[in-house]
Structure 1
Amino acid sequence: LEKNHGFFLVAATLATTKTYTAGLSPLGGRSYWYDNKGSHIAGDLVLRDKYP
């Protein structure tokens, strides 16, 4: 177990990074509005407008 300590640390770091990144990019691909149309402003979160 001590020989594999470095491997487990790297694997845990990669899993954490992947989970965090997946949370920031919701299904559908876009996290932020790209333009000013309707009631939203470019740069605002898409989820905030879709699910207030």
Structure 2
Amino acid sequence: MEAIFRLPPDGRLCLRIHREPYPLYDILRNNGYFYAVFPTKTGFDIHIWQDSSCNAP
């Protein structure tokens, strides 16, 4: 979580995880972050950003 909260306004974070982290989505939305989820063969890639002018991964 520390990495997410340190993102600069135009920064992005890609989280690669083996299962979908449903509780994280509420935390991101409640703190003004956007995200896109991409299923992979081994889990999920979740792209996280805060800049509302760029809401596509």
- TM-score category by the smaller chain? under 0.3
**TM-score, normalised via structure 1 length:** 0.23
More helix by share: 1
More strand by share: 2
Choose between structure 1 and 2 for higher RCO, CA contacts under 8 A separated by at least 6 residues.
2
Structure with larger Rg:
1
